[in-house]
Amino acid sequence: MLTAAAIGTAGFTPLTVQAASIEETRQVLQSKGIYIAGPLNSTEELKQKLEALGYDCTIPDWLDCIIPGLPGQPENPDNNQPENPELPDGNQPENPELPDGNQPGTPELPDNNQPETPEQPDVDENDNAFIQQVVNLVNQERAKAGLSPVKADVSVQAAAQIRAKEIETSFSHTRPDGSSFSTALTQQGVTYRGSGENIAWGQKTPEQVMNGWMNSDGHRANILNKNYTTIGVGLYQNASGTNYWTQLFTY
């Protein structure tokens, strides 16, 4: 039969203990001033001996309470592994946007310092038809006189359209800014050796305006000038419905 004797207990600081061997338990008890006589085969036997000495072994973790500091095994994990950090979703980190073909810091190439093409004036379809009719009528008159036809030129046409709007303000071969009509040609990039201009207002149709010009010596002279090779016709109708007509000739 096992015997136990308690000599005394020493003060202690509680430590967490979960389990220990019988021999380890005996050694720690002795270090705390508690001596157990005889062999111990199980923790249950130890419990019974300690209860006989007046220790309360009915509470949970009774061994920890009675002999704190008893070496024990670390607490087992709860079978739930610590949460793994979230794996990336398979998408690589976003790359910075690629440049749109220009290397960073590469200055744009110069445009060879060419002057900007002047904006072409707006002309509606009806006006375009009238303009073409005037060109045709001019060449008919030149053919009657045995002269070569003049060719419509886009830049001369643009200058003529600008002039058609200007003569509403100043019905003159001098522009509203005081310069000559020929500066409108220069502003459209037209190069020429000589130029001429016919202007008119109020006529409703190409035939009417051509009749008026052909019945005027100065205007007729421009239409039938053998040196001219290009033509531009301008037609502008204001808010009141009044038409303003121009012809520009160059060679």
The 10s digit of each residue's pLDDT in 62-106 is 565 555 544 433 333 344 344 444 444 444 344 444 444 444 444
Q: Do 141 and 242 have their domain in common?
A: yes
- Place 126 in a pLDDT band, splitting at 50, 70 and 90: low
Residue 92 included in any domain: no
Residue 72 domain-assigned? no
Tell me which of 20, 41, 66 is where a domain ends. 66
Last residue within a domain, chosen from 27, 49, 66 = 66
Structural domain contains residue 60: yes
Angle, CA 99 vertex, CA 98 and CA 101 arms, to 5°: 120
Are 62 and 134 contained in the same domain? no
Residues 57 and 132 in one domain: no
Q: Which residue has the higher pLDDT, 24 or 144?
A: 144
How many domains does the chain contain in total? 2
Which range marks the domain in which residue 233 is found?
Answer: 125-250
